[in-house]
């Protein structure tokens, strides 16, 4: 292993999502989903990592690990628990959290929809109903107004492709609408429209406030798809999956072009660029095999056969650092937008793979920079162990271990390694000897 040196201006930190760590919220769709026994081991979002009550403790952990930046989400159901009813307590909580981050020298990036929303929005048909877009836009206006000058960077929607896929194809997310490709495309279209409208409104509100430093983008899950075998149908499957999972969202949310499900498409808000940066969430390589399932676009995703344990994380995903370079280089060459790696991490309960995972992906970032790709940030997923949606609490993504019985936090050894990278913007030989 060789030392790695990053630019001094490169920023590193961590990312979380409210539902996965906060606890205590009975108004979200995920809490109601857990009441139906839909989360592994009949677990619930009601406690999580109790971050809502431990914000200051967790910010101090970020400081201790030398984080420059933090990506967090605002829980819509805490701000608008009932339709048209705004919570003063919820608003003040997030205002205070943002102020504490800034006081600690940590810059926030605020995500406005990270897989969860109020139960009342769910009952109205959530993202399959075009009439519901106005409710999200109204929420966005409220958040940007009450955060004011303290936040200038927003991620409108996290992984719209994963959200639509896991909700309407795999049925793992509420309301569990499995193999419904019509709902998939309806929701995808409405998520894209919601982003376009929100992009314009965030810029408009902050411009009226007198600010010129507004940055609005998305966090897009980019999977590295690779064809297994020479079957022409498999290659076609890969192209179909790449289109439905990547291209239609990138065209929509970056270029403003709706092209669903097929056809030439149109520009509902006019041609333009609707992202000031491109957030990339990257985790793994996906090998595409042929399938007869039309709902999966005739493609089946599997990991490589006979991969050793060292190449798999605790969820059985392939650890494939080179994919970060490949997906990022491809999308940067197309759009030339500043790149934030908004998520990248590993479920690793024993903490025996995470340090090398961080090293290997830092090496790919350096490779991107050497290839003139404008990568500016890296947010490790995640700050804390958390509720991994339908998989419950067993996957351990955290830099910080959480004992869910006592809520005790323990900084993992790999997080100490990452903290030194955050502080020094490099991996030295001494760090390699100490941690790797």
More confident residue, 304 or 134: 134
Please say if the pLDDT value at position 211 is more than 80: yes
For residue 259 the two structure tokens come to 């092209």
Please tell me the distance from the alpha carbon of residue 371 to that of residue 395, in angstroms, as a whole number. 34
Question: Is-contact 409 401, C-beta < 8 A?
Answer: yes
**What is the residue-averaged pLDDT of the chain?**
95
Please tell me the distance from the alpha carbon of residue 24 to that of residue 44, in angstroms, as a whole number. 10
**Signed CA dihedral, 306, 310, 311, 316: sign only:** positive
User: What pLDDT digit, counting tens, does each position of 358-413 carry?
Assistant: 999 999 999 999 999 999 999 999 999 999 999 999 999 999 999 999 999 999 99
Question: Is-contact 156 113, C-beta < 8 A?
Answer: yes
How is domain 4-435 classified at the CATH fold level?
A: TIM Barrel (3.20.20)
Question: How would residue 319 be classed by pLDDT, with cut points 50, 70 and 90?
Answer: very high
Report helix angle 55-64 to 88-103, nearest 10.
20
68-72, 226-230, 246-250, 350-354: least confidently modelled range: 226-230
Question: How would residue 305 be classed by pLDDT, with cut points 50, 70 and 90?
Answer: confident
Please say if the pLDDT value at position 126 is more than 80: yes
Size of the chain, expressed as the number of residues it contains: 436
pLDDT of amino acid 230: 77
Longest dimension (CA), the chain: 59
Question: Is-contact 396 414, C-beta < 8 A?
Answer: no
Does residue 115 sit in helix, strand or coil? coil
Question: In what helix (H) or strand (E) does residue 325 lie, and over which residues does it extend?
Answer: helix 322-335
142-156, 297-311, 343-357: least confidently modelled range: 297-311
* Domain positions in the chain: 4-435
The residue behind tokens 């709706």 is 258
Strands (E), 54-198: 69-73, 107-113, 153-158
């Amino acid at each position: 292993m060789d030392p790695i040196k990053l630019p001094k201006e490169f920023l590193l930190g961590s990312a979380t999502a409210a539902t996965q760590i906060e606890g205590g919220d009975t108004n979200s769709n995920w809490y109601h989903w857990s009441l139906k026994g839909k989360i592994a081991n009949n677990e619930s979002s009601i406690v999580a990592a109790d971050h809502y009550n431990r914000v200051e403790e967790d910010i101090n952990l970020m400081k201790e690990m030398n984080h420059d930046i933090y990506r967090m989400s605002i829980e819509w159901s805490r701000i608008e628990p009932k339709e048209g009813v705004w919570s003063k307590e919820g608003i003040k909580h997030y205002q205070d959290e943002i102020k504490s981050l800034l006081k600690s020298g940590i810059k926030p990036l605020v995500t406005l929809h990270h897989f969860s929303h109020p139960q009342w929005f769910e009952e109205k048909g959530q993202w399959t109903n075009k009439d519901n877009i106005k409710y999200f836009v109204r929420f966005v206006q409220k958040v940007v107004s009450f955060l004011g000058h303290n936040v200038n960077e927003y991620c409108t929607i996290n992984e719209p492709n994963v959200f639509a896929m896991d909700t309407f194809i795999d049925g793992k997310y509420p309301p569990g609408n499995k193999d419904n490709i019509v709902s998939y495309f309806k929701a995808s279209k409405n998520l894209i429209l919601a982003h376009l409208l929100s992009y314009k409104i965030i810029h408009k509100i902050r411009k009226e406030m007198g600010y010129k430093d507004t940055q609005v983008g998305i966090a897009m899950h980019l999977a590295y798809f690779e064809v297994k075998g020479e079957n022409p149908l498999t290659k076609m499957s890969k192209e179909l999956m790449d289109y439905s999972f990547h291209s239609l969202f990138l065209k929509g949310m970056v270029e403003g072009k709706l092209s669903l499900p097929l056809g030439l498409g149109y520009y509902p808000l006019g041609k333009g660029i609707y992202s000031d940066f491109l957030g990339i969430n990257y985790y793994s390589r996906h090998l595409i095999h042929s399938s007869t399932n039309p709902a999966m676009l005739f493609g089946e995703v599997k990991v490589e056969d006979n991969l050793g344990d060292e190449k798999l994380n605790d969820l059985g995903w392939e650890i494939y650092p080179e994919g970060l370079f490949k997906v990022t280089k491809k999308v940067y060459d197309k759009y030339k937008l500043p790149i934030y790696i908004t998520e990248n991490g590993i479920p690793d309960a024993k903490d025996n793979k995470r340090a090398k995972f961080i090293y290997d992906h830092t090496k790919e970032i350096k490779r991107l920079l050497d290839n003139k790709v404008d990568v500016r940030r890296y947010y490790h997923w995640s700050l804390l162990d958390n509720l991994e949606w339908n998989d419950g609490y067993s996957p351990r993504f955290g830099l910080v271990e959480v004992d869910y019985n006592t809520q005790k936090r323990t900084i993992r050894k790999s997080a100490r390694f990452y903290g030194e990278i955050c502080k020094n913007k490099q991996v030295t030989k001494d760090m390699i000897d100490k941690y790797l």
